[in-house]
């Protein structure tokens, strides 16, 4: 008998959908048929089926309540509204059949009854969902803004924001630990849904711990479950957060450990605690060191890129995440100043230009300023001498200039001092050498003179 | 002439095979079923009123599999030079300084380290073996480098060390496969294959993935360490030689002029084009392209592989020995290849397996010789790339397939002829240098005797994730569909080693 009870009970989720389907179908047909009245025979039948299946759903539902050991308090509303729905389905049947038994309803319009019927089935369904999926099962996936607008308490997903300048002033708990807990733990450990009896939304709750006692052992991360559970391998049953939930990074877990080791203070700054910077480095955003300007730009037309590639010049997006292009003449050593004009349709997208090993001459500097976003320029292995190189000082983004293996003259190097963004210049194998270091004194530009030597040493020839 | 006749005959036979009814019915029975099935499915398509005529379009990639592709994320480097010391160099004599191990030299290895462990050769209770090199902190970074590498210490501030790499393999073959394909078993593509598959290669006259070997032997794992696995075979590494013909059979045979070769290839391609017009198989187009590339390579490869034209000071800097197979030659070649737009250059240097069973394989003598062979070339490679402005856009990776034990090897439970160390995968050192790498960084630490990692442990997958990151890929999204599921170089693991990134 127990077996039957349990089996019946487990069929409840299956049977409940029959009355839902019938009732909705009946209501739809009733609405669809409101003018023609062509289905008056069919409609009562549908509600009769709805009634029978609702009774079946009630029986299986009761079996499940008994068999799975739910508290009556939990299922109370669902149970009564479910029965009401079943009864009401029969009433709808009777009304549509115009049976005498429901003569007392003759004054109530069928529309009102339909609305009641719809409300009943929806409410029963929702109550059932609440029992299986939890009270906030519809609210939970909503974005925080909608949740708070609806009046629900939210735990904001907040990023850890540290900078090179202020990382020491940041509050360890408020600015670092709390965001980690909020983003990765609190969805299961909050006053509404305290898994394992543990709450992690406030100082008191964290100190109180869960059903197995405190989760923090002062100054000992290795003995604090808050830390050790996260540290367990993901496959371990005790690993937190459980598989499938969003996981904290290695660095975040390390920080939780460091916080506990530091005595889990709630009101101390990182500086006061004297913690090492490299703990926080992953959370200090790095300035992007890309080979293109930090601006948005429209994409170059595919047709003009194709046309340029036909001439043998190599054009490619630097990455799919930006519209800037890298252009190289690696497959076209015959490239001349005149060929440059072909690049004009993509002039604002070119960020990296490699003209190394081509037939260009000094006159190219007349044209290069048109590439307003040029960041990396290679003119190595060409005939340029640096004549008129000052014309490039308008290139506001130029970071790197390579003139190795050219006749770039000493006197032109000083002109580079006015280049605002220029960081690196490569002058290996030019008439310039390291002893000419008076150039660009006081500027931040790094000149790589190259010509590195590895003199012979005794160890080079000793064979053991 | 005989050959030509055979060719014509074969062609006629192929044509005939393609036409006879018998062949059609015999070989295509299942094909017919498929055809029928496809027409049924088309018939079920409720949205199309008339059948569209299939239009065959090919991307540039179909026609030229090495056409460049932009990486999804902003790349830090364009090319990679991977220096693999096949046989596994001893981290304890090169970069991982363990003074405590020196003090414990000759003592029995603690049982706690041996329990439940399996080593390749060590039996019973081995003795601890102190470092056989002298260490000093070098450069501004103060990272440790041994006196086995007197040149390398000059560039120590250019590199970032990863000191607690671990692998789960302790034999050369599987460990090398793991290090280069992300799996200890055969069948996965190598890092270089993934890189060329994902990015193509800029120079249309050179292969995108070139492999150079030295040390008198190729890696134990065989050519699979630069194989293409399930990726199209065009992405596998092309092995070039620094001695003799750079690529076998690249020279035209005696009596065949360049013009005749050109006409031959033109004729073959003409037939191929007709074949393509008939069957529209994209493989045919790829083949046409490969013939043309091979023809261009005949000029370009011998040129780039010729180190004789390099200036004398550069040759001296690397310590090259023209005409021989040497690691120094290969380092210079690696620079030339990267300079010419090759995507991935893989160097294997054999002979690092220092068990102490023979003189060459001793930790104090043989290893020191091997170190001398790579010390100057690697230092020169870093400096040469730097002075050409190429180090910013190239990644250099150095490492072996695993590390070596802090214990002296006692093969067969006997004292060995020379000092040696057994295979050890728990913790070993690798380093990277170049674009996107934090200069002078050192990530991870091993315990007092260098047995296992105690901080910043890094897996082989993490190394791969980092290399892919620098090339502009998210290693978790860079996949290839094979046998019904997407495959990754890093399988289901890998975390970027952020500490060594600039």
Do β-strands B428-434 and B421-424 pair in parallel, antiparallel, or remain unpaired?
Answer: unpaired
Q: How far is CA B56 from the centre of its chain?
A: 35
R_g (Cα) of chain B, nearest Å? 26
Q: B143 with B442: CB under 8 angstroms?
A: yes
Q: DSSP string spanning B440-499?
A: T-EE-EE-TTSSSEEES-EEHHHHHHHHHHHHT--TTT-EEEETTEEEETTTT-----GG
Using CB atoms, which residue from B68, B74, B150 is nearest to A322?
A: B74
**CA separation (Å) from B134 to A65, A264, B252, B428, B501?**
76, 43, 52, 18, 29
Q: How far is CA B109 from the centre of its chain?
A: 36
Q: B250 with B302: CB under 8 angstroms?
A: yes
Where is pLDDT greater, at A244 or A170? A170
* Residue A78, both tokens: 């669902």
Residues belonging to chain A with any Cβ–Cβ distance to chain B shorter than 8 Å = 250-251, 278, 281-282, 286, 288-292, 314, 316-322, 328, 330-331, 378, 380, 400, 402, 404, 424, 426, 428, 448-454, 457, 459-460, 462-464
Contact (CB<8Å) B151/A288: no
Where is pLDDT greater, at B49 or B421? B421
Q: Among A16-25, A93-102, A130-139, B265-274, whose mean pLDDT is lowest?
A: A130-139
pLDDT tier for residue A161 given thresholds of 50, 70 and 90: confident
Q: B177-236, pLDDT tens digit by residue? A: 999 999 999 999 999 999 999 999 988 889 999 999 999 888 989 999 999 999 988 899
Using CB atoms, which residue from B204, B369, B384 is nearest to A331?
A: B204
Overall average pLDDT of the A306-318 stretch: 92
Contact (CB<8Å) A448/B150: no
- Residue A82: count other Cβ atoms within 10 Å of its Cβ: 26
Do β-strands A314-317 and A325-328 pair in parallel, antiparallel, or remain unpaired?
Answer: antiparallel
Q: A133-155, pLDDT tens digit by residue? A: 877 778 777 777 777 777 766 66
- Cα–Cα nearest to B246, from B212, B209, B220, B295: B212
Interatomic CA distance for residues A379 and B456, integer angstroms: 42
Would you kindly state where each structural domain of chain A is located, as residue ranges?
2-133, 172-283, 302-448
* Residue A122, both tokens: 């929806």
Which residue intervals of A176-291 are DSSP H helices? 178-184, 203-208, 225-231, 250-261, 270-273
DSSP code of A177? I
Q: Count residue pairs from A and B with Cβ separation < 8 A.
A: 102
Q: B107 with B457: CB under 8 angstroms?
A: no
Contact (CB<8Å) B72/A321: yes
Interatomic CA distance for residues B34 and B279, integer angstroms: 18
Contact (CB<8Å) B495/A250: yes
3-state SS class at B398: strand
pLDDT tier for residue B389 given thresholds of 50, 70 and 90: very high
Q: How far is B482 from chain A (nearest CA, A)?
A: 24
Q: H or E segment at A216?
A: none
Q: A280 with A249: CB under 8 angstroms?
A: no
* Residue B216, both tokens: 């008198």
pLDDT tier for residue A405 given thresholds of 50, 70 and 90: very high
Strands (E) located in A121-267: 189-190, 193-194
Determine the pLDDT at residue A60: 93
Chain A residues inside the 8 Å CB shell of B340: 330
Using CB atoms, which residue from A292, A320, A459 is nearest to B372?
A: A459
Determine the pLDDT at residue B3: 80
Contact (CB<8Å) B372/A316: no
Q: A406 with A430: CB under 8 angstroms?
A: yes
Determine the pLDDT at residue B51: 47
Percent of the residues in chain A that have a pLDDT greater than 70, as a whole number: 95
Is the confidence at residue A334, as pLDDT, over 80?
Answer: yes
Interatomic CA distance for residues B354 and B420, integer angstroms: 6
Q: How far is A169 from chain B (nearest CA, A)?
A: 23
Q: H or E segment at A328?
A: strand A325-328
Chain A residues inside the 8 Å CB shell of B299: none
Q: B324-366, pLDDT tens digit by residue? A: 899 999 999 999 999 999 999 999 999 999 999 999 999 999 9
Interatomic CA distance for residues A147 and B286, integer angstroms: 56
Interatomic CA distance for residues A251 and B498, integer angstroms: 10
Q: Among A246-250, A265-269, A307-311, A450-454, whose mean pLDDT is lowest?
A: A246-250
Is the confidence at residue B43, as pLDDT, over 50?
Answer: no
Give the CATH architecture of domain A302-448. Answer: Alpha-Beta Horseshoe (3.80)
Q: B23-38, pLDDT tens digit by residue? A: 666 666 666 566 565 5
What ipTM was estimated for this complex? Answer: 0.83
Determine the pLDDT at residue A280: 86
Determine the pLDDT at residue B33: 62
Q: Among A446-450, B239-243, B454-458, whose mean pLDDT is lowest?
A: B239-243
DSSP code of B501? B
Instruction: Output the pTM of the full model.
Output: 0.73
- Cα–Cα nearest to A389, from A370, A404, A408, A405: A408
Contact (CB<8Å) A320/B204: no
CA B132, B134, B137, B138 torsion: positive or negative? negative
Q: A41-88, pLDDT tens digit by residue? A: 889 999 999 999 999 999 999 988 888 778 888 889 999 999 999 999
3-state secondary structure A13-82: HHHCHHHHHHHHHHHHHHHHCCCCCCCCCHHHHHHHHHHHHHHHHHHHHHHHHHHCCCCHHHHHHHHHHH
Using CB atoms, which residue from A289, A330, A451 is nearest to B387?
A: A451
Interatomic CA distance for residues A190 and A196, integer angstroms: 11
Q: B431-449, pLDDT tens digit by residue? A: 999 999 999 999 999 999 9
DSSP code of A404? T
Determine the pLDDT at residue B95: 96
Angle between helices B282-304 and B327-339 (to 10 degrees): 120
Average pLDDT of chain B to the nearest whole number: 89
The phi and psi torsions of A352 (rounded to 5 degrees) equal: -120, 125
R_g (Cα) of chain A, nearest Å? 37
Overall average pLDDT of the B119-143 stretch: 92
Q: How far is B389 from chain A (nearest CA, A)?
A: 6
Q: H or E segment at B355?
A: none
Is the confidence at residue B146, as pLDDT, over 50?
Answer: yes
Contact (CB<8Å) B70/A424: no
Chain B residues inside the 8 Å CB shell of A305: none
- Contacts for B419 with CB less than 8 Å, ≥ 6 apart: B129, B132, B356, B362, B363, B364, B408
CATH numbers and ranges of domains, chain B: 64-246+305-500 (3.40.720.10)
Interatomic CA distance for residues B467 and B397, integer angstroms: 9
Interatomic CA distance for residues B464 and B397, integer angstroms: 11
Q: B262 with B295: CB under 8 angstroms?
A: yes
Contact (CB<8Å) B389/A424: yes
Where is pLDDT greater, at A368 or A196? A368
Is the confidence at residue A341, as pLDDT, over 90?
Answer: yes
Is the confidence at residue B97, as pLDDT, over 80?
Answer: yes
pLDDT tier for residue B108 given thresholds of 50, 70 and 90: very high
* Nearest chain A alpha carbon to B387: A450
- Residue A304: count other Cβ atoms within 10 Å of its Cβ: 16
Is the confidence at residue A464, as pLDDT, over 90?
Answer: no
Q: Among A172-181, A336-345, B20-29, B272-281, whose mean pLDDT is lowest?
A: B20-29
Average pLDDT of chain A to the nearest whole number: 87
Q: A191 with A313: CB under 8 angstroms?
A: no
Determine the pLDDT at residue B53: 46
Chain B residues inside the 8 Å CB shell of A406: none
Q: B473 with A257: CB under 8 angstroms?
A: no
Determine the pLDDT at residue B58: 60
Overall average pLDDT of the A291-298 stretch: 90
Contact (CB<8Å) A448/B389: yes
pLDDT tier for residue B291 given thresholds of 50, 70 and 90: confident
Do β-strands B485-488 and A350-354 pair in parallel, antiparallel, or remain unpaired?
Answer: unpaired
Chain A residues inside the 8 Å CB shell of B293: none
């Amino acid at each position: 008998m127990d077996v039957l009870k349990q089996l019946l009970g487990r069929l409840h989720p299956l049977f409940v959908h029959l009355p839902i389907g019938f009732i909705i179908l009946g209501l739809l047909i009733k609405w669809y048929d409101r003018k023609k009245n062509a289905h008056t025979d069919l409609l009562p039948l549908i509600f009769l089926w709805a009634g029978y299946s609702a009774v079946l759903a009630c029986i299986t539902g009761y079996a499940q309540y008994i068999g799975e050991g739910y508290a009556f308090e939990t299922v109370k509303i669902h149970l009564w509204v479910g029965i009401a729905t079943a009864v009401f389905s029969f009433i709808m049947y009777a009304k549509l059949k115009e049976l005498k038994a429901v003569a007392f309803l003759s004054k109530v319009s069928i529309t009102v009854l339909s609305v009641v019927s719809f409300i009943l089935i929806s409410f029963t369904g929702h109550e059932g969902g609440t029992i299986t999926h939890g009270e906030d099962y519809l609210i939970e996936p909503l974005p925080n803004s909608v949740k708070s607008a609806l009046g629900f308490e939210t735990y904001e997903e907040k990023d850890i924001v540290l900078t090179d300048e202020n990382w020491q002033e940041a509050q360890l708990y408020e600015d670092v630990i709390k965001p980690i807990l909020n983003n990765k733990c609190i969805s299961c450990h909050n006053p509404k849904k305290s898994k394992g009896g543990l709450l992690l939304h406030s100082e008191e709750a964290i100190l109180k711990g869960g059903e197995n006692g405190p989760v923090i052992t002062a100054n000992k991360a290795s003995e604090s479950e808050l830390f050790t559970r996260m540290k367990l391998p993901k496959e371990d049953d005790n690993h937190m957060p459980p598989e499938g939930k969003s996981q904290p990074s290695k660095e975040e877990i390390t920080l939780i450990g460091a916080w506990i080791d530091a005595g889990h203070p709630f009101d101390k700054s990182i500086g006061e605690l004297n913690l090492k910077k490299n703990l926080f480095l992953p959370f200090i955003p790095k300035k992007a060191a890309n080979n293109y300007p930090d601006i948005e730009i429209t994409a170059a037309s595919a047709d003009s890129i194709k046309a340029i590639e036909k001439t043998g010049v190599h054009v490619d997006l630097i990455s799919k995440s930006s519209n800037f292009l890298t252009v190289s003449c690696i497959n076209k050593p015959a490239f001349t100043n005149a060929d440059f004009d072909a690049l004009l349709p993509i002039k604002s997208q070119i960020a990296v230009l490699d003209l190394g090993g081509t037939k260009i001459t000094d006159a190219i500097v007349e044209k290069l300023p048109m590439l307003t976003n040029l960041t990396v320029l290679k003119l190595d292995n060409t005939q340029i001498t640096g004549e008129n190189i000052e014309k490039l000082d308008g290139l506001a983004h130029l970071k790197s200039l390579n003139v190795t293996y050219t006749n770039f003259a000493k006197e032109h190097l000083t002109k580079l001092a006015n280049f605002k963004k220029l960081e690196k210049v490569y002058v290996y194998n030019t008439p310039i050498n390291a002893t000419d270091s008076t150039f660009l004194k006081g500027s931040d530009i790094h000149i790589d003179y190259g010509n590195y030597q590895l003199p012979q040493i005794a160890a080079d020839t000793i064979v053991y | 002439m005989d050959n030509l006749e055979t060719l014509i005959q074969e062609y006629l036979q192929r044509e005939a095979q393609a036409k006879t009814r018998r062949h059609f019915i015999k070989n295509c029975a299942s094909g017919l079923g498929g055809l029928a099935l496809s027409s049924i499915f088309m018939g079920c398509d409720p949205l199309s009123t008339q059948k569209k005529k299939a239009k065959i379009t090919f991307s540039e990639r179909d026609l030229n599999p090495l056409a460049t592709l932009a990486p999804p994320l902003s790349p830090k480097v364009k090319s990679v030079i991977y220096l693999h010391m096949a046989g596994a160099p001893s981290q304890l004599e090169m970069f991982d300084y363990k003074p405590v191990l020196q003090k414990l030299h000759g003592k029995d290895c603690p049982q706690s380290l041996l329990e439940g462990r399996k080593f390749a050769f060590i039996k019973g209770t081995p003795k601890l073996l102190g470092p056989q090199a002298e260490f000093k902190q070098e450069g501004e970074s103060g990272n440790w480098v041994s006196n086995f590498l007197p040149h390398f210490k000059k560039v120590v501030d250019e590199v970032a060390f990863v000191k607690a790499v671990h692998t789960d393999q302790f034999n050369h073959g599987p460990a090398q496969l793991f290090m280069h394909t992300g799996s200890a078993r055969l069948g996965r593509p190598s890092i270089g294959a993934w890189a060329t598959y994902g990015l193509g290669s800029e120079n249309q006259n050179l292969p995108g993935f070139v492999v150079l070997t030295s040390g008198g032997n190729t890696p134990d794992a065989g050519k699979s360490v630069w194989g293409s696995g399930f990726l199209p075979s065009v992405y596998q590494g092309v092995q070039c030689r620094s001695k003799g013909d750079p690529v076998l059979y690249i020279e035209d045979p005696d009596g065949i002029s360049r013009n005749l070769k050109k006409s031959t290839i033109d004729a073959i391609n003409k037939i191929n084009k007709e074949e393509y017009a008939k069957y529209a198989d994209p493989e045919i187009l790829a083949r046409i392209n490969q013939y043309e590339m091979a023809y261009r390579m005949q000029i370009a490869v011998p040129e780039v592989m010729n180190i004789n034209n390099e200036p004398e000071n550069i040759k001296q800097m690397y310590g090259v020995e023209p005409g021989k197979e040497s690691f120094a030659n290969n380092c210079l070649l690696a620079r030339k290849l990267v300079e010419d737009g090759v995507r991935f250059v893989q160097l294997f240097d054999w002979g690092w397996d220092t068990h102490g069973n023979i003189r060459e394989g001793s930790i104090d003598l043989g290893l020191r010789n091997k170190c001398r062979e790579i010390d100057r070339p690697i230092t020169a490679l870093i400096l040469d790339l730097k002075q050409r402005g190429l180090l910013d856009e190239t990644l250099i990776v150095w490492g072996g397939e695993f590390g070596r034990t802090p214990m002296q090897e006692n093969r067969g439970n006997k004292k060995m002829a020379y000092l040696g160390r057994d295979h050890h995968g728990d913790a070993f050192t690798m380093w990277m240098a170049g674009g996107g790498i934090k200069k002078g960084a050192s990530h991870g630490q091993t315990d007092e005797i260098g047995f296992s990692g105690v901080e910043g442990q890094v897996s082989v997958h993490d190394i791969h994730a980092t290399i892919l990151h620098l090339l502009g890929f998210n290693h978790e999204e860079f996949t290839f569909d094979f046998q019904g599921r997407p495959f990754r170089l890093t399988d289901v693991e890998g975390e970027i080693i952020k500490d060594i990134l600039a």
